[in-house]
């Protein structure tokens, strides 16, 4: 079974600075997808970014980028130029070949003015 | 942009009562999922559904739970006899095809069992 580990329960960052959220996973599969979802206080799950395991290039979406290290099974999220609206829970997720997705425990990010 | 919708947004029920949570998937999506998130905890997989049958279910998804897609549009989660510990946010998610695309989440139903 796949497991996803987020070792940082809480993090904070000053507005306009950069923060990195860590995620590691365990799998024996070679092809899979990885995701970061944002959950603001409304509790809606919002897709931030995704990465296909077969792609070596790290995914980027505006201020959000990932550092995907397949051999190390690491998938960290970097948020540049942090904004107050980035305050939320962030969940790392792994999806296998059967489209089954599992989530990490989440990291609560607070952006301070 | 098409969205997954869920109804109701909130539901309060008495312990032992049956509840039905509804999800309207994005129209061309074929794979459907239910997840649960107890307050302050992580999102947990409950069940996946494809071609009108369950593909996979977790240990949480016991005999009190059932899913169906009765009319080809709504995808429902039924909890037959609710327990206090069923209080949680329930998310529906849908996925278009079999090529490991993105699961799109609905806004969730907040269930409170008293």
What string of DSSP letters covers A67-99? EEETTTTEEEEEE-S--GGG-EEEEEEEE-TT-
Mutation target vs A (from B10, B34, B38, B100; most A CBs, 10 A cutoff): B100
CA distance B114 to chain A (A): 21
Q: What is the pLDDT of residues A28-44, one digit of tens each?
A: 888 899 999 999 988 88
- φ/ψ of residue A99, rounded to 5: 65, 20
Distances (CA, A) of B5 to A26, A74, A86, B109: 32, 33, 24, 10
Minimum-distance CB partner of A50 among B93, B98, B102: B102
Q: What is the pLDDT of residues B9-63, one digit of tens each?
A: 999 999 999 999 999 998 888 899 999 999 888 899 999 999 889 999 999 999 9
Residue B80 has pLDDT above 80, yes or no: yes
CB contact (8 A) between residue A32 and residue B100: yes
A100: enclosing H helix or E strand: none
Distances (CA, A) of B29 to B24, B52, B56, B70: 10, 13, 17, 16
Q: Which residues of B touch A91 (CB under 8 A)?
A: 42-43
């Amino acid at each position: 079974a796949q497991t996803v580990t987020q070792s940082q329960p809480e993090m904070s960052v000053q507005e306009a600075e950069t923060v990195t959220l860590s995620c590691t996973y365990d799998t024996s599969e070679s092809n899979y997808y990885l995701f970061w979802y944002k959950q603001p206080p409304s509790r809606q799950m919002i897709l931030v970014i995704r990465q296909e395991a077969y792609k070596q290039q790290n995914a980027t979406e505006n201020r959000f980028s990932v550092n995907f290290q397949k051999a190390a099974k690491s998938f960290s999220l970097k948020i540049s130029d942090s904004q107050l609206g980035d305050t939320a829970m962030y969940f790392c997720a792994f999806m296998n070949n059967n489209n089954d997705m599992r989530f990490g425990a989440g990291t609560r990010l607070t952006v301070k003015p | 942009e098409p969205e997954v919708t869920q109804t109701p947004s909130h539901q309060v029920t008495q312990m032992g009562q049956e509840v039905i949570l509804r999800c309207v998937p994005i129209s061309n999506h074929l794979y459907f999922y239910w997840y649960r998130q107890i307050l302050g905890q992580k999102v947990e997989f409950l069940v996946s559904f494809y071609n009108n049958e369950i593909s996979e279910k977790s240990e949480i998804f016991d005999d009190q739970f059932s899913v169906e897609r009765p009319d080809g549009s709504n995808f429902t989660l039924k909890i037959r006899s609710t327990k206090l510990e069923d209080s949680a946010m329930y998310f529906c998610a849908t996925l278009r095809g079999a090529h490991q695309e993105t699961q799109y989440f609905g806004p969730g139903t907040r269930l409170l069992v008293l």
